[in-house]
Structure 1
Amino acid sequence: MKLKVKIFFIIIIIFFLVTIYNYYFHEAKDECLFSSENVEKSYYLKANKLLKKEGIKLFLYDSNTMKYYEAKRPYEIFYSLVHVSGDIMIAKKQKRMNKKDKVSWALGISRKPTYIYIPENKRASILKRKNKILRNIGTCYLVDNLLGYHVSTKE
């Protein structure tokens, strides 16, 4: 009887240790917007390099200086790419995109909606930026998918 109780407690302790490990391991991933499981920093830098070869430059608008500046850092490239495709949806689970899907999404030629996993603490700021751009379409630069250049829609 004592042996069964000991085995039972050992199993419970192992279960709790595994649960705690998984919780902290996955929480650490969720903290970083550009973790390797979700969307990689290197992908954004490669996508930016590919877009530059095609003649596309990604810009962000700084509301403090009221000027556009070129996106160079991974998170700036991400924010700039957010408004390239109007079909971006927020995924509830992490999903991997293959290289072909990533490139077509970066170029804005994807035919299907793109799902991006974004941790909960980052979603509000990204959705706010996307909605702001959609409301003030005349004050931002859009990527012309055919020409591959930024075209100002402000007359």
Structure 2
Amino acid sequence: MDSSRFRPVFPRCLLRGGAPHSQRSPSWSFLPGILALTLLLSGCLEGGTAPDPEGLSGQWCTEGTISSGGEPVVELPYLGMVLGQEGTQVEGNGAVKRADSTELWPVRYRGSLVGDALTLEVENFTQGNTDAPSFTLELTVTSPTSLVGIAVSDPGFPGTLTVVRVGERCFTD
């Protein structure tokens, strides 16, 4: 797979093995400073983040969607996010990729948690680009490390999605 086709929009250390800043794509510069700062300070710890006993704060990704080379699998939809929770409100930043695409899009996540139901609006950072994903995630908290649900109104994210805390479950076998 030609990794130059992907536009990284978050530190590679969120995946595996991280690349020095000088090796990142020039497209990184268009992201708002707050996204870059949030992701750079998000930890990037080997093995992912420990579950937050207070809620959903931390790093998340779709289960089994990152190749051993550290790139999202082309055939599968991908969600990557760094979330913060305050009360029932959940917000964060990250990236998404539609199934059968190589395009990563920087996004903002905003929503609320009611009981075990998490609804997140996914808004793109690419102002004026009608191709950029913008949809709703309807997820159920199944454990402190797992969310299961669907993306509503974007056919690039078909079927049931399992979102897990960043760690080995993010990677394909």
Question: If the length of structure 2 is used for normalisation, what is the TM-score?
Answer: 0.24
Richer in strand (by share): 2
Question: If the length of structure 1 is used for normalisation, what is the TM-score?
Answer: 0.26
Richer in helix (by share): 1
